[in-house]
Amino acid sequence: MQQLNKQNKLPSFVHLDEFPTVYVRGIENTIATGRSNKISTILGFQNFSQIEDEYGDKLAAKVTKGCGSRIMGQMLDDDAEKISKTIGKQKVLTRQYTYSASDTSETQQVSMDDIAPPSVISHFSQGTFCGLIADDFKDKEENKVFLGEIIVPLELKKHEEEVELPKLYDFRPKDYEAVIDDYYMSHKKTVIQLKSILISTSYKDLIELCGNFEYSMDFNNALIKMFDMDYDSFIDFAIDNNLYLYLKEYLSDKFKLENAKIITEELSEELFQCYSSEEAEDFINSLIEAGITERNKQKILTEVTQEIYNDIYRIIAMELRDPNLDIISMVKGNPKLAKKTIPFFSRLAKSDKFTDSKTRELYNSTCMELQEQE
């Protein structure tokens, strides 16, 4: 948040759905000052009491009052009254007619009534919302207050579901084809043996073999014994490409099985057939390609996870040295707190969760400064 909430940054968007379920330190400052730094902050929650429970009454009030635009669906009890007061009142002209035998009189009265009474808000149907929209000098909003039903374009939604989502990330390695070729060359003997197994063993026997074992290692060991395969090379290949689960899933999909088990007494003739040579090659190709992609994916996710850890530990280290927070002085002024804090910071400095050297230097310098005070 601190990195985003600075001047001369690109426009950014912070969306926290089910906001009360996570504590976001400094969120009130982001809401209060973020608009001037091109940050749009959206908080989603069920009711106000959730925020008060997590953040406390004072901080919850700062958070909610800092939100200029508010869009609210059905709310009950105190929340409905609070929303009704927020939206405000409107002038309502009431005319009353009195009839007599000789005359008709009209009485007019102007009153201020709630735009959205609490009783109405508490009975909102799904899709009905009320609220108010914030604007500025440059972009005035004529309809700042609204109450109505959002019409969902169901036909458009159906069309959206028919369109496949684009791939946001391709987990294949950059030199994908070269990696596949190298893998084939280094596991050529195992590939030939596996193809031989597939074209000589019926689907039924393969299904029963998969169903006999709960764990992949037991399945791999059984194949090695049955077909006299080289242990080291086959185990490496099978683990690399998750052979057991991949074969099990393939057979389950092909024959519409439950957990790779034959559940009908009537066996089709195809179950007694074997992989064709072409089908076996296609299976092995897809197996290896999926294995290479999955391993590269895990590598990327590990690197990203490490970056996240580095960011978390860096933010904590920077907050320790932040003069506005003045944490060091607070610890120095409390010997009991310092006695507990120094070992904690020392463990942080030695943690293997992060790899950033500058962050480690910050923790070490913090520990040294506190130890000098002792």
Tell me: the pLDDT tens digits for 238-253? 999 999 999 999 988 8
In a domain, 168, yes or no: no
Domain count, the chain: 1
DSSP string across 159-194: HHHHSPPPPS---S-TTHHHHHHHHHHHTHHHHHHH
- Label residue 188 by pLDDT band (50, 70, 90): very high
pLDDT digits (tens, 9 = 90+) for 294-321: 999 999 999 999 999 999 898 888 888 8
Query: Does 95 map to a domain?
Result: no
pLDDT over 60 at 266, yes or no: no
pLDDT of residue 262: 55
Domain-located, residue 3? no
Euclidean distance between CA atoms 275 and 195, whole angstroms = 9
The region of weakest confidence among 49-53, 103-107, 318-322 is 103-107
- Does any domain span residue 204? yes
Q: Which of 228, 238, 318, 325 is nearest to 284 (CA)?
A: 238
**What element of type H or E holds 132?**
strand 128-132
Most confident of 120-134, 193-207, 243-257, 319-333: 193-207
Split at pLDDT 50, 70, 90, the class of 231 is very high
Is position 215 within any domain? yes
Q: Which domain holds residue 262?
A: 176-296
- pLDDT per residue over 16-29, tens digit each? 888 888 888 788 88
Output the CA torsion 247→251→254→256 (10° steps): -140
Nearest to 206 by CA among 264, 249, 239: 249
110 vs 217, more confident: 217
- Please report the pLDDT score of residue 374 as a whole number: 55
Inter-CA distances, 155 with 126, 149, 152, 165, Å: 18, 18, 9, 18
Average pLDDT, the chain: 85
Q: Which two tokens stand for residue 241?
A: 């490409």
Contact by Cβ (8 Å): 318, 362:
yes
Relative to beta strand 89-99, strand 70-72 is unpaired
Helices (H), 212-276: 216-227, 231-241, 243-255
49 CB burial (10 A radius; 0-12, 13-18, 19+): middle
pTM value > 0.95: no
272-287 b/e (C-beta count within 10 Å ≥ 16 → b):
eebbeeeebeebbeeb
Specify the pairing of strand 104-114 against strand 12-16.
Answer: unpaired
Residue 259 is assigned to a structural domain of this protein = yes
Is residue 332 in a domain? Answer: no
Spatial CA neighbour of 332 closest among 370, 364, 367: 370
Residue with tokens 């024959």: 255
Per 3-state DSSP, the chain is made up of helix, strand and coil in percentages (nearest 5) of: 55, 15, 30
Residue 182 lies in a domain: yes
State the pLDDT at residue 69.
84
Model pLDDT, residue 216 = 92
- Least confidently predicted of 112-116, 209-213, 243-247, 349-353: 112-116
Position 179 confidence tier, pLDDT thresholds 50, 70, 90:
very high
